[in-house]
Structure 1
Amino acid sequence: MVLDKLSNATRYTCMHPLFVQAFAYLQETDLASVATGVHEIEGKRLFAIISEDKGIAKENAKLEVHRKYIDIQYVISGTDHMGWKDLAQCSQPNDPYTEERDAAFFPDKTQNWFDVPAGSFTIFYPDDAHAAMITGEVVRKVVLKIAVS
């Protein structure tokens, strides 16, 4: 798991061949005016999901993991409160993985909470169980989905 500011993105471009394009999209796109929804960048290998919603309460948080995609979650406006837990420490999922949604959900709770303010991003790999949008405010964000292979 990574948490950093977009101004430091070049530190991470070596971590995956598509990260150069992913961070270029974040830096070169007027994200405040892009319509919410799914936007293809490099077909199914790299795409963006733009959302603008009010978050949920911490007691309703669900940890999730993905197998096919790495998430880069970038906050455009507001502050997203997120949680993280190592997948190896999670119990069995209470909502098992399906390939269609590329997600499994866990009943586990985490003690690892952090704020992601506007201008910052997280990177979650398949072994990073994470919960996002744990906030009472409206957050505009983009989740870049990057194919693992």
Structure 2
Amino acid sequence: MILDKLANAHRYTCLHPLFEQAFQYLQETDLATEPNGVHEINGKQLFAIVSEGKGVSKQEAKLEVHRKYIDIQFVISGTDHMGWKDLAMCSVPNDPYTEERDAAFFPDKTDNWFNVPAGSFTIFYPDDAHAAMITEEVVRKVVLKIAVK
């Protein structure tokens, strides 16, 4: 799991062949006016999901993991409150993995909470169980999905 500001994105482009293109999208797109929804960047290998809305409470938070995609979650406006837990420390999923949604959900809770303000991003790998949008504030964000392989 990584948390940083978009100004430091150059530090991470070496971590995956598509990270440079992903960060270029974040830096060159007018994200304030980009319509909500899915935006293809490089086919199924790299795409963006833009959304805006309120989140849920910590009590309602669900830790999730993905197998096929790495998440880069960038906050456009507002502050997203997120949680993290090492997948190896999670119990059995109460909502098992399905390939069509590329997600499994866990009943576990975490003590690792942090704020992600506008202009910042997180990177969640497949072994990072994470919960996002744990806020009652309206948050505008984009989640970039980067194929692991």
Band of TM-score, shorter chain:
over 0.9
What residue ranges of structure 1 are gaps of 5+ in the alignment?
Answer: none
Q: Does 1:35 align with 2:35?
A: yes
Deviation of 1:107 (Å):
0.1
Corresponding residue for residue 4 of structure 1:
4
AA aligned opposite 1:141: K
Deviation of 1:129 (Å):
0.1
- Three-state SS of the structure 2 residue aligned to 1:59 is coil
- Three-state SS of the structure 2 residue aligned to 1:60 is coil
Deviation of 1:22 (Å):
0.1
Corresponding residue for residue 119 of structure 1:
119
- Three-state SS of the structure 2 residue aligned to 1:134 is coil
- Separation (CA, whole Å) in 2 of partners of 1:55 and 1:97: 22
Corresponding residue for residue 94 of structure 1:
94
Q: Aligned runs of 1:1-149 on 2, under 5 Å?
A: 1-149=1-149
Give the 4+ runs in structure 1 shifted more than 3 A: none
- Separation (CA, whole Å) in 1 of partners of 2:85 and 2:72: 16
1:119-140 CA distance string (max 9 Å, x none): 0000000000000000010000
- Separation (CA, whole Å) in 2 of partners of 1:55 and 1:89: 25
- Separation (CA, whole Å) in 2 of partners of 1:136 and 1:99: 30
- Separation (CA, whole Å) in 1 of partners of 2:69 and 2:34: 22
TM-score normalised per structure 1 = 1.00
- Separation (CA, whole Å) in 2 of partners of 1:127 and 1:136: 27
AA aligned opposite 2:72: I
1:89-108 CA distance string (max 9 Å, x none): 00000000000000000000
AA aligned opposite 2:33: S
Q: How many residues were matched structurally? A: 149
- Separation (CA, whole Å) in 2 of partners of 1:16 and 1:92: 29
Deviation of 1:64 (Å):
0.0
